[in-house]
Structure 1
Amino acid sequence: MSSNVTMEEYGIPRGMPITAGANMEIDRETHVVRNRSAPSTHGLHAPADEDEDAEHKKLMDRRMHAKATQGNVDGFIKILGSISSEQDLQHSEILCQVSPRKNTCLHIAASFGHHDLAKYIVRECPDLIKNKNSKGDTALHIAARKRNLSFVKIVMDSCPSGSGASQDVEKAEPSLLGIVNKEGNTVLHEALINRCKQEEVVEILIKADPQVAYYPNKEGKSPLYLAAESHYFHVVEAIGNSEVEERMKNRDRKAVHGAIMGKNKEMLEKILAMKLVHQKDKDGRTPLHCAASIGYLEGVQMLSDQSNLDPYQRDSDGFCPIHVASMRGNVDIVKKLLQVSSDSIELLSKRGENILHVAAKYGKDNVVNFVLKEDRLENFINEKDNGGNTPLHLATMHRHPKVVSTLTWDKRVDVNLVNDRGQTALDIVLSVKHPTTFDKALVWTALKSAGARPAGNSKFPPSRRCKQYSESHNTDKYKDRVNTLLLVSTLVATVTFAAGFTMPGGYNSSGPNVGMATLLMRNMFHMFVICNTTAMYTSILAAIILIWAQLGDLHLMDTALRFALPFLGLALTAMSLGFMAGVYMVISNLHWLAIVVFIIGIISLVSLLVPFFLLFRPSKSTNPILRHISYYPFLILVLASKAPK
């Protein structure tokens, strides 16, 4: 290097010479210009400066990064030689430099799929294969994530052995394939997670280090689990044919779980044939728990044929497989488990819950219906858990109106049983501080219509219950509803008033009937006038009733709403009929169009009436006739109140 240097990258302005005799020198390794006459930086700040210099030394030159991205080997070698000359560094030292995210040139080549460049880099600096970036990924991780396993094979084939000859991937150092990133994934994990289809290379990786197939990542999933879940038969077969110590196989706690999650009978048979120990996963779930959870009936059948099946094991939440099936609403699995092991009927969770408790708690009405129809499960209906709660208590607590309704329709259910806190199911609704949600209102309606009563010995005083319940029906909530209905009724009155003076067909302008409607003698005109008049006066009447509701009395508001709603419903219906009659009348000469308008009007009218009718909450009366009348509207409201899954 010349003694006269002008380089912007050293922080020196262009044109400023630095001679050998000057009082400045360039530290070639740190790119830092120092003044020779300046005192040494010894003392308190010296270590921090040294760390900063070391970090700067490791940072990759931007020209190197650009060439690695482009993948041109000749250009890369040329810039490598140039930087080596400028900084007086060995090629291997330069290649070990990293980008801000700790990526080496090999990482970059892997990311862009530059095979030839990767071969060159590995020959020059084999140790780079083990280098990790900020996410813990080696270059092989990146290549596998990009489904480029041929790159993995190329890089590993380029690794020189001790003799200098090309090393076969089958003889690759096992620790290389066992390197994990921050997610706990090996190269084989990444290949299978990203659905790599290069079967030959995946099998070579397994052959290179069979033990890696059983390494669980941070999610507890091994490559064997991932292969079983994704139906990669060739991978599972390759793993099964490899010889691995039993202790290594036992590290894989979830291989059978993976086959179950894949819901493939042939794959599950293959995994079960490997004689893996059926251990619990990190949540304490056995393979049978897993199959019961996802509703895999065929898997439950296959597992039940295993000699080491244990249907009594509990997971970390204290649930047996039959409870998990009940929780998920997999009624076929519940039936199968009861068939395979009849004593499963007696299994309780750690909270003392039977399958009906669990189904009611999680709102699975199909399981509830099954239990209610089974005579041998009749004892479950009013059974109490460790807290003294019956299934009805739990369904009420967790706001499942359909389950509550199903239970209350069964005459064997005692709706007035109390739990250990002295509460009936109705007390639970009343004790909620703000029971304003729609599903809670439906639960309350179902209980009241079944004759549920509050308990006299409840640990919640009546005064508190009444106060809390009245808080939910506060004046502000009613005012909003009254104002909305008042606005609608006013709009209906305005529209129908205007329609009364703009008659269809217009008016006679001459003759003895001057000023009279031209279509006066048509039947549809009569219907239009009657419907329009009805809509106007009923909407006005509804508005007047709602104005009374503005006086602020809570009971008066409730009464006003109950009377105003029917009038407003009648006004909307009459207005719709009047509109249909008027349009039909003026286009009646074109029969097909008149028929289309009539059909659309009828369909729309029904669509209007159904949601409006549902505004009237189903009857809370205990009268059997009213209960039956309200049953289907209640189910519609339950469907409307359900949150999307």
Structure 2
Amino acid sequence: MSVDLLANASRKARDLEDENLCAALQLAEGDERWNALLCPPLDPAKCGTDVQLFDERHVMCPDLYLATLSGSINRVNELLGLTNETTTINDASPDVQVVFEDTPENQLGGKFHGDGLCTLQEVTAGKNTMLHIAAEQGHVELVKLLFRMDYTLLTSENSSHQTPLHLAARAGNHGIISLIVFLAQQSPIGVYEVLTKRSIHGDTVLHEAVRNGHERAVQVFMTAAPALSAEVNNASISPLYLAVVRKSVGVVNALLEYKHASAAGPKKQNALHAAVLGNPDITSMLLHWRPELAYERDDDSGSIPLHYAASDGDVDVVQEILDRASSAVYIQDKEGWSPLHVAARMCHYSVIELMINRCSDSVELRDNEGRNFLHIVALHGGRISSSLKNVLYHHGSKKLAKPGNKINLDHRHCLEKIVHERDNNGNTPLHCASMNGSSDMIKELIKLGADETLINNDGKTALDYSISQGSVFLMAHSTIALVNRGATFGPQRQDKLDHWKSEGIIEKLSKNLIVVCILIATVALSAAFNVPGSYSGDGIANLRLKKQYNIFIVFDTLAMSASMTAVMLLVVGKAVTERAARICFAISLNLLWICLFTMELAFVLAVSVALGNGKYATKTLVCFLPMVFFTSTIIVTTLYCFPKPWTVYKFLMVSKDQQTRRQIEIQRPTLTTYIRISSLFVILNIFFYLTIIGFLWYAGNLSYSISQHDI
């Protein structure tokens, strides 16, 4: 250990008055491991570390950088201190051999400027040489000049291990690429050494050209070294895969000219995995070039390209694959999912139909959980109306995306075989549809022949699972659809039944409805005393003799009365039994609907009377627009939120199974409230329709009579 370092440390310890530290330092003599801790960190001689000092002589002069970037040969010569005689390049013929001069003047340059000397060894912050810059910018003459001065620059690498040829390929300078190939072959280095260099990511020069979509540059490389297309980078990505991802048809076509080109991609994907996602033309090219790509699996999920195509739903692409490799339909991924399962999961019914018509027995494929594609449709696609109608009831011929391709197979019989199949838990597709709350899917499966009384491994039927829905709409629709078709519950003790967990839906909605109804009552009360036309001096409304004003007052009174009644019912509903609370909620919800409707009509009448005589086009528009919006709301709400009246009637009147009715009352008391609300809603909407028709008729006659009176 250095005596000076130890003495210095001992002196500091004494200054700290630390006796233990002083004693430890007295014992430190000869301890080599402590020696490294006492050495200054940037002293290579004492610390034993190899510290590379930054050599400012290799930093590219700003003037030289700008001269190279612009391609100014004269300026470059001036900064390097070169004469015209030493920089003459023989361009007469490509066959002329280049003479390499290794004079000290050519290597180091000879012109001082600023505080340094410009040389060919100067590099940018990214370790790019002058040849890197000239090649990227496409300066042909400057590239020739630099090559003559130092041909080893052809294999120089920047901080990313890229050569000048990499940068020329990235920029798409095909002229520079051809020049560098020629110069490399003329030099002692050889063209192989230049073309096979790889970047820090393992990219060849062909990777760079393809990644940036330079078709002409790719053609040059495929002419000079087509074997580069068989190389992959550190991520196992081939140039062909990059071209497919870029959707560069011309580049793909150039690469496919070499039959041994690699199609590899990340995670063992191939170029076809990428092409099937929206590239029918490239998909066709790849399948024609190498059909076996359709059977290769990726490393992520074991999926083949047809799995990807089925998930995307492009019928053209799926059809192209089936034309070349129809047996790919039978290949399953690591989860046991066939392309048919994938199409079912994504609700691509045209793709399902195409695959079933090509390979009818593919419907028998099951995943690792024992589910066929109908299970998957029921679990994931059942909320789409008429989801399986094209698949289940297809007859005759139908043209798909490609002209002239007709399907003449009625495959209903194929599906009837699997509609009763049970998965590993004993669930049929009908069980899955009930879990999903899809009344449309339930109806379609029952039409197909599904048995609604089958039980699974837990002894539950499809009707038992309709209670699993968190939404009252889905629960009600699926329950009504199953009961109307004769579904029954599984045998269970009635005191052990699971009750439908509404999670306080009525309680939450009641709080919101109270606030809304109070706001409506406040607005209606304000409107009654801030009437159109204001008041006369004795406090009487100026428009009291107008019929529209009197009707406005009536509608405003209805809105206020209905809203106040709804508030009282909702408040009372919090203090009574659960059944009474549900009844109060049902009535309040319909009263709120009445409030909204009467407020709408009151607004129309107030605006109409405020416009006075004339303005018939404006009055018509004021009457028409609110009615259109309100009518549209009624139609959408009726179609998508409430069951059809005849299904409700059948549920209430036709069902004969008393045990099923009792269990519904025990498990799902909210269902009765929902049916009451929907029934009252239908009745109210009929009344509203008649009111709207009468109102529009009255408004039309009134406008006509006023116009006749004015005439």
Q: 1:535 to 1:419 in 2, by over 3 A?
A: same
Q: 1:383 to 1:563 in 2, by over 3 A?
A: same
Counterparts of 1:625 and 1:65 in 2: how far apart (Å)? Answer: 91
Determine if contact 1:140/1:187 at 8 Å carries over to the other structure. Answer: yes
SS at structure 1 position matched to 2:330: coil
Which of 331, 337, 356 matches 1:313? Answer: 331
Other-structure match for 1:639:
none
- The answer on 1:368 being equivalent to 2:388 is yes
SS at structure 1 position matched to 2:329: coil
Other-structure match for 1:29:
none
Deviates more, 1:532-541 or 1:61-70: 61-70
Cα deviation code 1:238-278 (max 9, x no counterpart): 43444649xx689997344455445435x555434434533
Counterparts of 1:464 and 1:404 in 2: how far apart (Å)? Answer: 26
CA drift at 1:532: 0.7
* Mapping for residues 327-406 of structure 1, pairs under 5 Å: 327-363=345-381, 365=384, 368-373=388-393, 374-397=412-435, 399=436, 401=438, 404-406=441-443
Counterparts of 1:132 and 1:454 in 2: how far apart (Å)? Answer: 74
Other-structure match for 2:690:
none
Q: 1:520 to 1:318 in 2, by over 3 A?
A: same
Determine if contact 2:533/2:610 at 8 Å carries over to the other structure. Answer: yes
Counterparts of 1:488 and 1:280 in 2: how far apart (Å)? Answer: 60
Counterparts of 2:172 and 2:285 in 1: how far apart (Å)? Answer: 26
Q: Structure 2-normalised TM-score?
A: 0.64
Counterparts of 1:112 and 1:463 in 2: how far apart (Å)? Answer: 81
Counterparts of 1:344 and 1:59 in 2: how far apart (Å)? Answer: 72
Q: 1:614 to 1:322 in 2, by over 3 A?
A: closer
Other-structure match for 1:595:
620
Q: 1:617 to 1:157 in 2, by over 3 A?
A: farther
* Mapping for residues 376-525 of structure 1, pairs under 5 Å: 376-397=414-435, 399=436, 401=438, 404-407=441-444, 410=447, 412-415=449-452, 417-425=454-462, 427-428=464-465, 430=467, 436=470, 438=471, 441-449=472-480, 450-451=482-483, 455-456=490-491, 465-466=498-499, 469-470=500-501, 473-474=503-504, 480-509=508-537, 515-525=539-549
Determine if contact 1:174/1:208 at 8 Å carries over to the other structure. Answer: no
Q: 1:494 to 1:457 in 2, by over 3 A?
A: closer
The residue type paired with residue 343 of structure 1 is D
CA drift at 1:336: 3.0
CA drift at 1:339: 2.9
Determine if contact 1:263/1:299 at 8 Å carries over to the other structure. Answer: yes
Cα deviation code 1:353-382 (max 9, x no counterpart): 222123223326566334543243113223
Other-structure match for 1:6:
none
Determine if contact 2:536/2:542 at 8 Å carries over to the other structure. Answer: yes
Other-structure match for 1:176:
195
Other-structure match for 2:603:
579
Counterparts of 1:141 and 1:91 in 2: how far apart (Å)? Answer: 23
RMSD: 4.7
Counterparts of 1:485 and 1:277 in 2: how far apart (Å)? Answer: 63
- The answer on 1:67 being equivalent to 2:65 is yes
Q: 1:358 to 1:237 in 2, by over 3 A?
A: same
Counterparts of 2:640 and 2:317 in 1: how far apart (Å)? Answer: 46
The residue type paired with residue 48 of structure 2 is A
Structure 1 unmatched runs, 5+: 1-37, 634-645
Q: 1:259 to 1:538 in 2, by over 3 A?
A: closer
Q: 1:180 to 1:523 in 2, by over 3 A?
A: same
CA drift at 1:531: 0.3
Determine if contact 2:195/2:205 at 8 Å carries over to the other structure. Answer: no
Which of 557, 568, 574 matches 1:533? Answer: 557
Structure 2 unmatched runs, 5+: 1-39, 81-107, 394-411, 655-673, 679-711
How many pairs are equivalent?
Answer: 556
Which of 212, 215, 222 matches 2:238? Answer: 222
Determine if contact 2:464/2:489 at 8 Å carries over to the other structure. Answer: yes
- The answer on 1:274 being equivalent to 2:265 is no
Counterparts of 1:180 and 1:327 in 2: how far apart (Å)? Answer: 42
Q: 1:67 to 1:384 in 2, by over 3 A?
A: same
CA drift at 1:322: 3.0
Other-structure match for 1:26:
none
Q: 1:190 to 1:483 in 2, by over 3 A?
A: farther
SS at structure 2 position matched to 1:575: helix
Q: 1:383 to 1:599 in 2, by over 3 A?
A: same
SS at structure 2 position matched to 1:53: coil
Counterparts of 1:404 and 1:504 in 2: how far apart (Å)? Answer: 53
Q: 1:238 to 1:447 in 2, by over 3 A?
A: closer
CA drift at 1:226: 4.6
* Mapping for residues 141-180 of structure 1, pairs under 5 Å: 141=166, 144-146=169-171, 149=174, 152-153=177-178, 156=181, 159=184, 161-163=186-188, 172-173=191-192, 176-177=195-196, 179=198
Deviates more, 1:556-565 or 1:566-575: 556-565
The residue type paired with residue 571 of structure 2 is I
Counterparts of 2:280 and 2:588 in 1: how far apart (Å)? Answer: 60
The residue type paired with residue 629 of structure 2 is S
Counterparts of 2:582 and 2:514 in 1: how far apart (Å)? Answer: 14
The residue type paired with residue 526 of structure 2 is A
Counterparts of 2:489 and 2:162 in 1: how far apart (Å)? Answer: 63
Determine if contact 2:464/2:490 at 8 Å carries over to the other structure. Answer: yes
The residue type paired with residue 277 of structure 1 is E
Cα deviation code 1:307-337 (max 9, x no counterpart): 7844322233322333333333333333333
Counterparts of 2:361 and 2:349 in 1: how far apart (Å)? Answer: 17
Determine if contact 1:215/1:222 at 8 Å carries over to the other structure. Answer: yes
Determine if contact 1:141/1:190 at 8 Å carries over to the other structure. Answer: yes
Counterparts of 2:473 and 2:193 in 1: how far apart (Å)? Answer: 63
* Mapping for residues 194-233 of structure 1, pairs under 5 Å: 194-196=212-214, 199-216=215-232, 222-227=238-243, 232=248
Other-structure match for 1:13:
none
SS at structure 2 position matched to 1:529: helix
Other-structure match for 1:53:
52
Q: 1:594 to 1:137 in 2, by over 3 A?
A: farther
Q: 1:161 to 1:112 in 2, by over 3 A?
A: closer
Determine if contact 1:405/1:443 at 8 Å carries over to the other structure. Answer: no
Counterparts of 2:515 and 2:497 in 1: how far apart (Å)? Answer: 36
Identity of aligned residues (%): 26
Cα deviation code 1:102-127 (max 9, x no counterpart): 66666666676776666666664645
CA drift at 1:489: 1.3
Counterparts of 2:548 and 2:363 in 1: how far apart (Å)? Answer: 67
Other-structure match for 1:131:
157
CA drift at 1:533: 0.7
The residue type paired with residue 369 of structure 1 is K
Which of 261, 264, 280 matches 1:264? Answer: 280
SS at structure 2 position matched to 1:386: coil
Counterparts of 2:41 and 2:490 in 1: how far apart (Å)? Answer: 89
Counterparts of 1:416 and 1:226 in 2: how far apart (Å)? Answer: 54
Q: 1:497 to 1:244 in 2, by over 3 A?
A: closer
SS at structure 1 position matched to 2:52: helix
CA drift at 1:574: 0.7
Counterparts of 1:231 and 1:443 in 2: how far apart (Å)? Answer: 43
Determine if contact 1:429/1:444 at 8 Å carries over to the other structure. Answer: yes
Determine if contact 2:353/2:391 at 8 Å carries over to the other structure. Answer: no
Determine if contact 2:169/2:205 at 8 Å carries over to the other structure. Answer: yes
Counterparts of 2:225 and 2:139 in 1: how far apart (Å)? Answer: 26
Determine if contact 1:227/1:236 at 8 Å carries over to the other structure. Answer: yes
Determine if contact 1:573/1:609 at 8 Å carries over to the other structure. Answer: no
